[in-house]
Amino acid sequence: MTRKTPRVAVTPPPICNSATLRDELSGLFPQPYFNDTGRYLTEDELIRFAGEADALLVGRDGITDKVLSALPQLKIIAKYGVGLDNIDPDALTRHSVELGWTAGVNRRSVAELTLSFMLGLCHNVFKGGWALKQGQWVKEGGQLLQGKTVGLIGCGNIGKEVVGLLKPFECRVWIRDILDRSEFCKVTGALEKSLEEVLGGADIISLHVPSTEETRYMINATTLSRMRPTAFLINTSRGDVVDQSALKDALMKETIAGAALDVFDQEPPEDAELLACPQLMVTPHIGGNAVEAVEAMARAAFQHMKEYFSK
C-alpha cells in the first residue's frame, strides 16, 4: 500500500446514512470519516471536511481546481454515481489525482423509475391521484403504454436499459444520440431518428443525456413547441437539460399533455407554481437511489480505492 492507513473521507448521504455501508468501508479502511450533514458539500465545506484525506469518495460535490489545490495530500477521487459533470477532469490531471469511476452501475434503478413515469402518465395515475386528493372523483383511465411511440434522447447505459424494459409493451422506440447506435438498433428493433423527428412524432419523450454545454436547456420553449399536444416529457437525467420555466408555461397552457421530473435545475426546487401543476409528476432525485443501486454504486467506489491503495 502507498501508506499503511490511508485516510478516507466520504460525502454521499446515501453511504453516510447506511450502517451497512459504513461498516463495510471501515473494514477496508480503518476509521474513515463520514459527512453527517445529510447533504452534499460546497467547495469550502469540502475542503474543510476532507482535510488530510488521501482518498475522497464523492457524489454530487464539486471537484474543482480550488478544491484540489487545497488538498495536496489527495491521491484519488472515488465517484459514487454515474455522472461526472461535477468533476473537472483537467484539474485532476494538473494535480495528479486519479479518478475511480464505474459507468452504468445504477442504470436499472433509473430505467425502472422512467418506466413507472411512462405508465403513470399514460394511465392518469398522477393526475387522477392529485384530483382525488383535492376531493374530485375524476374517472379518466388514460391510455395504454402498449403500442406508443417512445423517443429516447440519449441512449447510453440507462437509455439502453429502458429499451429493454419497453419490449413487452410493443412500443415503437426511436433513438436520438450523438453516437452511432445502429448496431444496438439492429438487435433491438429501435430506430435512429433526428431530434426533430423525435420531438414532432413521439408520444413520450424521455431524456437520458449528461449535463454539458450542448445539452443545457436543450428542452426549451422552442423544442417544447415542436412536441405534440398529446405528448409526455420525462426527465430522469440532469435538471439543467430542461428549461423549467418553459416547461411550466407549456403545462399551464396545455401545449403538452404532461411531464414527469426526477431532477431539477435547482435542488430542492422552489418553483411552487411548477410543482402545483396537476399534469406534472415529481420525485426528489431518487432515480438511482434504489437500495440495490445505492449499495452497488458504493461498493464500486470502495473497490476503486481498494485497488488503488493495493498497488
Alpha helices by DSSP H, listed for the chain, are 13-16, 19-28, 43-50, 65-69, 89-94, 107-122, 125-133, 157-166, 182-188, 195-201, 221-225, 244-252, 272-275, 291-309
Contact by Cβ (8 Å): 260, 126:
yes
The verdict on whether 238 is a catalytic residue reads yes
User: Considering 7, 107, 176, 285, which one is annotated as catalytic?
Assistant: 285
Check if the beta carbon of residue 258 is closer than 8 Å to that of residue 251: yes
Amino acid in position 305: M
Out of 267, 273, 292, 307, the active site residue is: 267
How many Å apart are CA 284 and CA 57, to the nearest integer? Answer: 22
Q: Residue 113: helix, strand or coil by DSSP?
A: helix
> What is the DSSP code string of 98-110?
EEE--TTTTHHHH
Residue with the three cell numbers 403545462: 251
- Confirm if 166 and 173 have CB atoms less than 8 A apart: yes
Q: Is 107 a catalytic residue?
A: no
Q: Known catalytic residue: 7?
A: no
Q: What DSSP assignment string belongs to 213-277?
A: TTTTT-BSHHHHHTS-TT-EEEE-S-GGGB-HHHHHHHHHTTSSSEEEES--SSSS---HHHHT-
Q: What letter does residue 80 receive in the DSSP assignment? A: P
Which is nearest to 271 in space by CA: 245, 249, 243? 245
**Catalytically active residues, by annotation:** 238, 267, 285
